[in-house]
Structure 1
């Protein structure tokens, strides 16, 4: 396992911080720098894994800073926003319905319901059948004597 230049190490740490898999990073390093590294070698640059527990402090700091920035920037990507996705699904469902493509319309509506979360389920809520939700007002218990009518008590 050859020693890597700081530029390559930095690339590996940043790629891992952006949730790339070790296999993806191996391919990216080969394409970008022409350097062949193993998945195990890449894993040693991830401080969240046991293989990366001995990683130098500067690389750990770079990893955490990159991951924080990546998560913050992800929130700015429109498709990462639920409202954006729902609006797009709404436009697609409307277009599919206008084209009389009911199967696609149903799929898009299902996807939108799942996107909202816990809406695409088959169960009744309390308001759907109010008679099932009433507390009993009166309970009557009839005691029946199971003995023969001519038997003495």
Structure 2
């Protein structure tokens, strides 16, 4: 096992915190730092694994901070950005030149990207998901009212008549 300097250790911990595999990290360390390490040695720097249980407090904290930032800042990742998608699709469209079939496929992808943006609301949920959530919320409110009825009934409920299946609608108003 190669002895690693602090900058290499920090690089390994941050890469693992960003969900890269030990093999990917080992390959990158070889390219960037010209140090050949095994994926088993890389795994020693992942506190979520058994092999990383003895990692120093400083590196564990760095891992947790990096993982938290990575999860919260998805817009920093280019592929998660719609502008990036459209830019790449435009490049693909231009590269296909006279191939109409492939250009049409790229246009379909762009149209699908536009449609997914229209159906998703500000919360990122589709319209169907938002409706389902609203229905569940209304059902919960109804159940809460049945379990804990309000002390006074709303005026619109004064005129509601509950009929049993064998009863007929009355001809005269009920007072």
Normalised TM-score (structure 2):
0.49
**CA drift at 1:95:** 6.8
Name 2:102's counterpart in structure 1: 104
Name 2:45's counterpart in structure 1: 45
Rounded to whole Å, the distance in 2 between the matches of 1:57 and 1:14 is: 14
- Give the 3 Å change call, closer, same or farther, for CA 35–93 of structure 1 in structure 2: closer
**CA drift at 1:87:** 7.1
Note the 1:18-97 alignment, pairs <5 A: 18-82=18-82, 84-86=84-86, 89=89
Contact 1:17–1:67 (CA under 8 A) maintained in structure 2: yes
- Give the 3 Å change call, closer, same or farther, for CA 76–9 of structure 1 in structure 2: closer
**CA drift at 1:78:** 4.8
Which ranges in structure 1 are unaligned for 5 or more consecutive residues? 120-153
Aligned residue-pair number: 116
Say which is worse superposed, 71-80 or 51-60, in terms of deviation.
Answer: 71-80
Contact 1:17–1:66 (CA under 8 A) maintained in structure 2: yes
Highest relative contact order (Cα 8 Å, sep 6+), 1 or 2?
A: 1
Cα RMSD (Å):
3.6
Alpha-carbon displacement from aligned partner over 1:27-81 (angstroms, at most 9, x marks no partner): 2323333333211010111122332233222211111212333345541355421
Rounded to whole Å, the distance in 1 between the matches of 2:8 and 2:94 is: 48
Contact 2:13–2:45 (CA under 8 A) maintained in structure 1: yes
- Give the 3 Å change call, closer, same or farther, for CA 111–64 of structure 1 in structure 2: same
Normalised TM-score (structure 1):
0.54
Greater helix share, 1 or 2? 2
Which ranges in structure 2 are unaligned for 5 or more consecutive residues? 120-175
Rounded to whole Å, the distance in 2 between the matches of 1:30 and 1:78 is: 25
